[in-house]
C-alpha cells in the first residue's frame, strides 16, 4: 500500500513556534464536545486499568492498612492517630476525605479488610481522575499537532499512564498518592488553562488548589512548583508574579496543618516530626527506602526490572525529552513541558542520588515523564518525516512511511511492556497479606506469629491481634514463637524485621505451610519452625527465679520451673541437665501430699520433701515402673533392666561413652563422681542396649538416658508419660493446666497519650476557606468597581 499524498504546512527550522490563538469559548466547547470518543476511550482505559480486580491486587502495604485504620478512627470519633498520639507525618486532608467516604458507606467501624476494599474504590477513582487529568493536560499541550495526531498522542499518553506499573501500583491502593497526585495535577491543569486569565482569577483558583495539594501531601511541592518554573522559562513577568503569588498563598494556606498542631497544644511535636520528615527527604536520616544502609539499590533495580521495565524505559526516554526540550526553541506548551520535566527530574535525581529513595515518590515523577516520552517520540517522528518528505512529479509532497511505522512499533512495544506487567500483576489474585491473615485467624487466638516486614499491617487486619517482630529467628524460637510470615520482597529490601538472614533461617529450619500470591511481596508465606522439647534454646524464657517453658503451640502456654518455697525445682532441673536432658515440664509444681511437692518433666519426676527443706530430687520413677509394671515398661520401648543390680556392678555398666559422660556430669569415672551421679540420676539398672530405631539407651533408677547410635547428644527418655499411662503416676494428682506465657517483647509500646482530634483542623480549614472566599469576592468586587469607574470616566 503506497502512501497517499499529503499537503504540508512546514515551519522553517530554527524558528520559534507561534502559539495558536485562543479560540472563542463557545467554539472551544463545541470542539471539546466532538472529542467524546477520545474521552470515552481514555475513561474506559483508565477505568479498566485502575478498577479491574481492585480488591484482589495489589497486596496491602503497611501504609494502606494504617491509613485506612486511621481514617476509620476519624470516622468514628475524629481521632486522627495510628496509636494514641497525634499523626503529624502527613497532612490530614486525605484521611478526612476517606473518613467521610467510609462513614458515608457505613464502613467507618467495619472490619478493616472490608473498609480497605471500600476505601480502594475511592482511591481507584482518584487514580482514574489522575489518568484523565494527565491525558487532558497532554491534550491541551499538544495543541500544535493536528486534531488526529493530537488524539493519538492523548490516547497514547492515557494508555501509558493507565498501565504504568509504578502509577498503577499506588493508584489502586488507599494510600495518599492517588489523592495527592490528583490534587497536584489539578494545580497544573488549572495553571495551564488559566495562564491567560486575569491575575485575580488565576491566583484565586491556583493558590487554593495549591494549598489543598499541600494539605494532601507536602511532597506535591515538587509538582506544584511547575507553573512558577514555567513562568520563569517564559520570562513572563506578569506570569511569574502570579505564579509566585499563587504558590506563596498556597503555602500559607497549607499552614492550617501547623495551626492544627498548635490548637492541640502539640506544636513542638509537629516541628519534631516535620523536621525528621525533612531530614529523611534530604537524606540526612535514612530509615526507609532503597538508599538505606544495607539495602542494595542495584539488586533492587535488577529484581524489579521485569515488573517496572516500562517505567524505567519511560524514565530514560523522559530524560532524553528533558534534554530535547532544553536544547530546542519551544512553544509555550513546550516550555510548560520543560518546566514539568525539569521539576520532575530535579526531584527524582536528588532522591535517587542523595535523599530517601522511596518507590512511591516516583508516582509524582511519572506523569511528566510519560507526557515527555510521548511528545519526544512525536517530535522525533515528525522530524524524521520532515527530513524524508519527497515532492512527487505532480508537485505534492509525500511523507515517508518508515518513521510513522517505527514510531508505532516503539509505542506498541512500550505499551506492550506495560500491559504485560499489568496483566501479570493485576489480572489474578495478589492479596497474600489478607489470605495469610485469614489462615492465621484459624489458628488458636493465643498463637504468636512473627510478622514479615512490619507487624502492624497484619495486626490491623486482624482486629489488633498481636504479631511479633523478631529479627533473629533463634530468639523468637527461644521465646516460644513457632510461626513465621515470610514475604521475600521484605527480605530483599531489609524491610522492618525481615532480612535475608532471617529469611534463610526460616527456610533452613522451618516447614512452609502455605504460600499465597502477591506481586508486591513476591508471595506471602506462612512457615512453622518446630522445636524439640529437649531443645535447650527453644521455648525457654528466663523469668524471675527460674524459667517459663512453652509447651503448647506457639507461645500458647506452658509451665514455670522456679525456685520457690515449695522447693528449688529450677536449680534441680538445671543441675540434672535442664531442658536439654530432662525435656520440658509436663505439669506445674503440685502438692502430692501435705509434705511432698512434685513436678513432672518429660524425662524425670522432681520432688521436694518438707523434711529436706528446699532440696529437690528426682524420684526413682524408672526402677518403680520396671518393678511394679514391667509390661508397661517394656511396651514403652525402654532398655531392659538387669537383675541383681548392685552399686559396684552398676558402675561396670557405664560402657557407652556419651551416656557415661552425661551421667557423670562430664567428670572422670571415679568413685566420687559415680556417687554424685547416683545421687543425681539413681544407680544404673542395666547395661546400655540398642533400642528400636538404632538409639542406645541405659536405664538408671531415676531416668533412662538415650543417645544416638553414633554417640553425641544424650537425653532422658520420656518415661513420665509411660508412668502416667501405666497408672504409676496419677494425673489427677498433678496440676496439668498450662500457665499463661509471659508477655512477649513489644517494640511498639504506646507512648504517652496525646489529644488527637481532627475536629479543630476541620474547623480551621473551614474558617480559612470562608475567609479565603471572602477575600476573593472582595478583591473581585473592588477590581470590578475600579474597572467600572475607569469605563465611566472614559
Partner 1 sequence: MTAQIQPAIGGGGRLRRKVLLWQGVIALALVVLLAITKQMVTAREVGPDPLGALPGGETIAGLAIGGAPADYQLEALAASYHIDGVASLQGRSVAEQVTAASLHLAYLSLDVPADGAPTWAQLQTLAAFMRAHTKNGDSVYVHDDVGGGRAVATACMLLLLRGTSWAAVQRDVTGTGLNTMSPAQSQAVSQLNSALHSRGGSPLDNPYSKARIDPW
* Binders of partner 1 in range 464-523 (CB under 8 A): 469-479, 497, 501, 505
Question: Per the structure block, which three cell numbers stand in for 453?
Answer: 516486614
Count of residues interacting with partner 1 (CB under 8 A): 79
> Which CB sits closer to partner 1, 309 or 541?
541
Name residues whose C-beta falls within 8 Å of residue 242's C-beta, 6 or more positions apart in sequence. Answer: 199, 202, 203, 206, 231
8 A C-beta contact, residue 582 and residue 596: no
Q: Does 11 bind partner 1 (CB under 8 A)?
A: yes
Q: How far is the CB of 48 from partner 1 (least distance, A)?
A: 26
Residue whose entry in the numeric block shows the C-alpha cell 524464657:
541
> Which CB sits closer to partner 1, 3 or 657?
3
> Which CB sits closer to partner 1, 157 or 677?
157
Residue 569's closest CA among 541, 548, 554?
A: 548
Name residues whose C-beta falls within 8 Å of residue 346's C-beta, 6 or more positions apart in sequence. Answer: 222
Could you give the CA distance from residue 331 to residue 329 in angstroms, rounded to a whole number? 7
Q: Does 330 bind partner 1 (CB under 8 A)?
A: yes
Q: Does 282 bind partner 1 (CB under 8 A)?
A: yes
* Interface segment toward partner 1; rule CB under 8 A; list 87-95, 346-354, 405-413, 588-596: 346-354
Q: Does 295 bind partner 1 (CB under 8 A)?
A: no
> Which CB sits closer to partner 1, 343 or 477?
477
Q: Which DSSP helix (H) or strand (E) runs through 690?
A: strand 689-690
Largest CA-CA distance found in the chain, in angstroms, rounded:
135
> Which CB sits closer to partner 1, 149 or 438?
149
Residue 645's closest CA among 672, 681, 685, 676?
A: 685
Name residues whose C-beta falls within 8 Å of residue 349's C-beta, 6 or more positions apart in sequence. Answer: none
Binding partner 1 by CB under 8 A: which of 142, 208, 224, 315?
A: 142
Positive or negative CA dihedral for 144, 149, 152, 153? negative
Binding partner 1 by CB under 8 A: which of 85, 331, 564, 764?
A: 331
Binding partner 1 by CB under 8 A: which of 284, 305, 409, 778?
A: 284
In the chain the first and final C-alpha atoms are separated, in Å, by 66
Paired sense of beta strands 689-690 and 390-391, if any = unpaired
> Which CB sits closer to partner 1, 277 or 541?
541
> Which CB sits closer to partner 1, 349 or 771?
349
* Interface segment toward partner 1; rule CB under 8 A; list 90-98, 177-185, 283-291, 626-634: 283-291
Could you give the CA distance from residue 401 to residue 735 in angstroms, rounded to a whole number? 90
Site string for partner 1, 347-366 (x = CB under 8 A): --xx--xx------------
Residues of this chain, 730-789, that bind partner 1 according to CB under 8 A: 745, 747
Q: Does 570 bind partner 1 (CB under 8 A)?
A: no
Q: How far is the CB of 146 from partner 1 (least distance, A)?
A: 4
Q: How far is the CB of 376 from partner 1 (least distance, A)?
A: 7
* Interface segment toward partner 1; rule CB under 8 A; list 140-148, 244-252, 453-461, 506-514: 140-148
> Which CB sits closer to partner 1, 349 or 513?
349
8 A C-beta contact, residue 27 and residue 418: no
Q: Does 263 bind partner 1 (CB under 8 A)?
A: no
Could you give the CA distance from residue 754 to residue 580 in angstroms, rounded to a whole number? 48
> Which CB sits closer to partner 1, 544 or 793?
544
- 10 Å CB burial of residue 314 (0-12, 13-18, 19+) is buried
Q: Roughly what angle, to the nearest 10 degrees, separates helices 226-234 and 237-253? A: 160
Q: How far is the CB of 348 from partner 1 (least distance, A)?
A: 12
Q: How far is the CB of 404 from partner 1 (least distance, A)?
A: 9
- 10 Å CB burial of residue 393 (0-12, 13-18, 19+) is exposed
Positive or negative CA dihedral for 390, 393, 395, 398? negative
Q: How far is the CB of 794 from partner 1 (least distance, A)?
A: 40
Site string for partner 1, 217-256 (x = CB under 8 A): ----------------------------------------
Q: How far is the CB of 693 from partner 1 (least distance, A)?
A: 28
8 A C-beta contact, residue 739 and residue 557: yes
* Interface segment toward partner 1; rule CB under 8 A; list 33-41, 103-111, 284-292, 717-725: 284-292
Q: How far is the CB of 117 from partner 1 (least distance, A)?
A: 33
SS3 641: coil
Q: How far is the CB of 141 from partner 1 (least distance, A)?
A: 6
Q: How far is the CB of 463 from partner 1 (least distance, A)?
A: 25
Q: Does 153 bind partner 1 (CB under 8 A)?
A: yes
Could you give the CA distance from residue 636 to residue 721 in angstroms, rounded to a whole number? 9
Q: How far is the CB of 331 from partner 1 (least distance, A)?
A: 7
Residue 138's closest CA among 473, 370, 302?
A: 370
Residues of this chain, 307-326, that bind partner 1 according to CB under 8 A: 321, 324-326
> Which CB sits closer to partner 1, 334 or 585?
334
Residues of this chain, 14-53, that bind partner 1 according to CB under 8 A: 14-17
Q: How far is the CB of 351 from partner 1 (least distance, A)?
A: 11
Q: How far is the CB of 774 from partner 1 (least distance, A)?
A: 41
Q: Does 149 bind partner 1 (CB under 8 A)?
A: yes
Residues of this chain, 520-559, that bind partner 1 according to CB under 8 A: 536-537, 540-542, 547
Residue whose entry in the numeric block shows the C-alpha cell 502495604:
61
Q: How far is the CB of 469 from partner 1 (least distance, A)?
A: 7
Q: How far is the CB of 144 from partner 1 (least distance, A)?
A: 5
> Which CB sits closer to partner 1, 397 or 675?
397
20-27: long-range contacts (C-beta < 8 A, 24 or more apart)? 20/143, 20/144, 22/196
Task: Point out which residues pair with 791 in neighbouring strands.
Answer: none
Name residues whose C-beta falls within 8 Å of residue 203's C-beta, 6 or more positions apart in sequence. Answer: 242, 245, 246, 249
Q: How far is the CB of 203 from partner 1 (least distance, A)?
A: 27
Residue 360's closest CA among 516, 172, 509?
A: 172
Q: How far is the CB of 415 from partner 1 (least distance, A)?
A: 19
> Which CB sits closer to partner 1, 71 or 159?
159
8 A C-beta contact, residue 58 and residue 426: yes
Q: Does 287 bind partner 1 (CB under 8 A)?
A: yes
Question: Per the structure block, which three cell numbers stand in for 23?
Answer: 479560540
> Which CB sits closer to partner 1, 105 or 739?
739
> Which CB sits closer to partner 1, 242 or 715?
715
Residues of this chain, 367-386, that bind partner 1 according to CB under 8 A: 375-376, 378-379, 382-383, 385-386
8 A C-beta contact, residue 161 and residue 369: no
- The count of other CB atoms within 10 Å of the CB of residue 3 is 11
Q: How far is the CB of 353 from partner 1 (least distance, A)?
A: 6
φ/ψ region of 546 (left if φ > 0, alpha if ψ in -120 to 50, else beta) reads left
Q: Roughly what angle, to the nearest 10 degrees, separates helices 177-193 and 199-216? A: 170
Residue 287's closest CA among 454, 98, 121, 46?
A: 454
Binding partner 1 by CB under 8 A: which of 39, 48, 262, 285?
A: 285
> Which CB sits closer to partner 1, 141 or 231?
141
Residues of this chain, 395-414, that bind partner 1 according to CB under 8 A: 399
Q: Roughly what angle, to the nearest 10 degrees, separates helices 93-104 and 177-193? A: 110
* Interface segment toward partner 1; rule CB under 8 A; list 5-13, 235-243, 757-765, 772-780: 5-13
Residue 87, CA atoms < 13 Å, CB-side half-sphere: 22
Residue 605's closest CA among 480, 733, 696?
A: 733
Amino acid at each position: 500500500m503506497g502512501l497517499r499524498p499529503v499537503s504540508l504546512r512546514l515551519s522553517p527550522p530554527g524558528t520559534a513556534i507561534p502559539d495558536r490563538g485562543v479560540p472563542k469559548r463557545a467554539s472551544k466547547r463545541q470542539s471539546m464536545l466532538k472529542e467524546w470518543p477520545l474521552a470515552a476511550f481514555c475513561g474506559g482505559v483508565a477505568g479498566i486499568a485502575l478498577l479491574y480486580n481492585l480488591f484482589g491486587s495489589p497486596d496491602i502495604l503497611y501504609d494502606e492498612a494504617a491509613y485506612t485504620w486511621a481514617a476509620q478512627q476519624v470516622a468514628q470519633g475524629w481521632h486522627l492517630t495510628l496509636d494514641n498520639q497525634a499523626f503529624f507525618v502527613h497532612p490530614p486532608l486525605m484521611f478526612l476525605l476517606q473518613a467521610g467516604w467510609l462513614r458515608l458507606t457505613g464502613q467507618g467501624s467495619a472490619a478493616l479488610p472490608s473498609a480497605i476494599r471500600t476505601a480502594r474504590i475511592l482511591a481507584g477513582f482518584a487514580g482514574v481522575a489522575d489518568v484523565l487529568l494527565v491525558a487532558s493536560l497532554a491534550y491541551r499541550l499538544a495543541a500544535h499537532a493536528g486534531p488526529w495526531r493530537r488524539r493519538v498522542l492523548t490516547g497514547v499518553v492515557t494508555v501509558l499512564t493507565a498501565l504504568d506499573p509504578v502509577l498503577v501500583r499506588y493508584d489502586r491502593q488507599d494510600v495518599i498518592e492517588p489523592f495527592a497526585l490528583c490534587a497536584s495535577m489539578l494545580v497544573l491543569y488549572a495553571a495551564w488553562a488559566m495562564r491567560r486569565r486575569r491575575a485575580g482569577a488565576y491566583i484565586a483558583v491556583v493558590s487554593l488548589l495549591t494549598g489543598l495539594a499541600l494539605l494532601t501531601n507536602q511532597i506535591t511541592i515538587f509538582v506544584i512548583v511547575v507553573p512558577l518554573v514555567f513562568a520563569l522559562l517564559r520570562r513572563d513577568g506578569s506570569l511569574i508574579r502570579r505564579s509566585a503569588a499563587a504558590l506563596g498563598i498556597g503555602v500559607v494556606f497549607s499552614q492550617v496543618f501547623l495551626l492544627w498542631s498548635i490548637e492541640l497544644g502539640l506544636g513542638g511535636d509537629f516541628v519534631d516530626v516535620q523536621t525528621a520528615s525533612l531530614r529523611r527527604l534530604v537524606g540526612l536520616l535514612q530509615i526507609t527506602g532503597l538508599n538505606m544502609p544495607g539495602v542494595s539499590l542495584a539488586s533492587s533495580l535488577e529484581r524489579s526490572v521485569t515488573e517496572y521495565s516500562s517505567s524505567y524505559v519511560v524514565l530514560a526516554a523522559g530524560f532524553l525529552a528533558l534534554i530535547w526540550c532544553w536544547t530546542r526553541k519551544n512553544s509555550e506548551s513546550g516550555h510548560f513541558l520543560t518546566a514539568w520535566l525539569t521539576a520532575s527530574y530535579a526531584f527524582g535525581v536528588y532522591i535517587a542520588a542523595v535523599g530517601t529513595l522511596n518507590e512511591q515518590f516516583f508516582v509524582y515523577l511519572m506523569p511528566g515523564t510519560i507526557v515527555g516520552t510521548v511528545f519526544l517520540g512525536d517530535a522525533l517522528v515528525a522530524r524524521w518525516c520532515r527530513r524524508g518528505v519527497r515532492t512527487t512529479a505532480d508537485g505534492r509532497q509525500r511523507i515517508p512511511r518508515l518513521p510513522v511505522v517505527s514510531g508505532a512499533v516503539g509505542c506498541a512495544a512500550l505499551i506492550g511492556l506495560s500491559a504485560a506487567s499489568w496483566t501479570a500483576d493485576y489480572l489474578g489474585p495478589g492479596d497474600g497479606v489478607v489470605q495469610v491473615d485469614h489462615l492465621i485467624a484459624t489458628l488458636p487466638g493465643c498463637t504468636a506469629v512473627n510478622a514479615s516486614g512490619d507487624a502492624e499491617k497484619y495486626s490491623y487486619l486482624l482486629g489488633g491481634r498481636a504479631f511479633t517482630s523478631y529479627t533473629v529467628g533463634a530468639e523468637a524460637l527461644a521465646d516460644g514463637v513457632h510461626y513465621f510470615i515470610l514475604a521475600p520482597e521484605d527480605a530483599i529490601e531489609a524491610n522492618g524485621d525481615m532480612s535475608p538472614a532471617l529469611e534463610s533461617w526460616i527456610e533452613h529450619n522451618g516447614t512452609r505451610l502455605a504460600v499465597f500470591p502477591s506481586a508486591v511481596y513476591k508471595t506471602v508465606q506462612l512457615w512453622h519452625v518446630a522445636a524439640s522439647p529437649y531443645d535447650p534454646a527453644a521455648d525457654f524464657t528466663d523469668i524471675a527465679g527460674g524459667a517459663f517453658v512453652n509447651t503448647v503451640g506457639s507461645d500458647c502456654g506452658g509451665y514455670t520451673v522456679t525456685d520457690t518455697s515449695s522447693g528449688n525445682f529450677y536449680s534441680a532441673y538445671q543441675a540434672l541437665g535442664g531442658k536439654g536432658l530432662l525435656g520440658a515440664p509436663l505439669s506445674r509444681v503440685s502438692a502430692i501430699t501435705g509434705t511432698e511437692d512434685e513436678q513432672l518433666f518429660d524425662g524425670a519426676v522432681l520432688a521436694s520433701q518438707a523434711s529436706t527443706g528446699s532440696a529437690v530430687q528426682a524420684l526413682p520413677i524408672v526402677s518403680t515402673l520396671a518393678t511394679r509394671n514391667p509390661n508397661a515398661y517394656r511396651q514403652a520401648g525402654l532398655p531392659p533392666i538387669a537383675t541383681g543390680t548392685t552399686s559396684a556392678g552398676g558402675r561396670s555398666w557405664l560402657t557407652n561413652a556419651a551416656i557415661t559422660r552425661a551421667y557423670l556430669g562430664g567428670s572422670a569415672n571415679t568413685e566420687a563422681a559415680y556417687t554424685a551421679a547416683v545421687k543425681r540420676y539413681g544407680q544404673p539398672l542395666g547395661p546400655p542396649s540398642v533400642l528400636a530405631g538404632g538409639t542406645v539407651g541405659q536405664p538408671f533408677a531415676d531416668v533412662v538416658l538415650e543417645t544416638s547410635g553414633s554417640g553425641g547428644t544424650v537425653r532422658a527418655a520420656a518415661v513420665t508419660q509411660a508412668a502416667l499411662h501405666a497408672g504409676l503416676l496419677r494425673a489427677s494428682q498433678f496440676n496439668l493446666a498450662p500457665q499463661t506465657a509471659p508477655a512477649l517483647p513489644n517494640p511498639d509500646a504506646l507512648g504517652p497519650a496525646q489529644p488527637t482530634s481532627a475536629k479543630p483542623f476541620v474547623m480551621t480549614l473551614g474558617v480559612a476557606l470562608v475567609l479565603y472566599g471572602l477575600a476573593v469576592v472582595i478583591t473581585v468586587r473592588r477590581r470590578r468597581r475600579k474597572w467600572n469607574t475607569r469605563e465611566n470616566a472614559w
